[in-house]
Amino acid sequence: MSNHNIDSKGRIVLPAKFREELGESFIVANGFNAKCVQVMSKSEYENISARIRQLPAKQAMAMQYNFTVTASEVTPNAQGRFVIPPALRKIAKIEGEALVLGMDTRIEIWSREVYDEFMLSQQPVLEEALENFVF
């Protein structure tokens, strides 16, 4: 997890390690079940989209409205900055500063306040998961 500034044009810099893994351009989209922005490679986006198409029609439509419709391909500039589309910034309430989290096959960008609220809401789920997790 790292803190990053969002400039007045809505641009953010991802760490070089993430940019190398994502490629020259990548996809940003609304987060699943959370108010964040997801960042993923084009191949990961295609993989998720294919899985969405396999869902029953009603569920697929809901996922497409939440995820597919909000997806945009972005290309970082020479300084590694890219624009988070205004609609996604609004949904995620991202202004000024953001948290960037590496999440296995994707990256999430969060407002600190929204992230803290989300993590608090996940405490009961975490406690249940820890009861079932074998160390």
Q: Please name which of 34, 68, 36, 37 lies closest in space to residue 51, comparing C-alpha atoms.
A: 68
Check the CA dihedral 122-124-127-128 and report its sign: negative
Confidence class of residue 135 from pLDDT cuts 50, 70 and 90? confident
Model confidence over 24-36: pLDDT tens digits?
999 999 998 779 9
pLDDT per residue as tens digits for the range 76-128: 998 889 999 999 999 999 999 999 998 888 999 999 999 999 999 999 999 99
pLDDT of residue 47: 95
Among 66, 72, 76, smallest CA distance to 21 is for 76
Tokens 């300084």 label which residue? 79
Percent of the chain with pLDDT over 90: 74
Going by their DSSP bridges, the two strands 97-103 and 81-83 should be labelled as unpaired
Name 11's bridge partners: 83
Cα separation values, 44 from 22, 27, 58, 98, Å: 9, 9, 23, 23
pTM of the model: 0.89
Structure confidence at residue 23 as a pLDDT band (50, 70, 90) = confident
Mean pLDDT across the chain: 92
pLDDT over 70 for what percent of the chain? 100
Q: What is the DSSP secondary structure assignment for residue 133, as one 8-state letter?
A: -
pLDDT at 19: 86
The DSSP line for 25-39 is SEEEEEPSSSSSEEE
Q: If pLDDT is split at 50, 70 and 90, which confidence band does 17 have?
A: confident
pLDDT of amino acid 82? 95
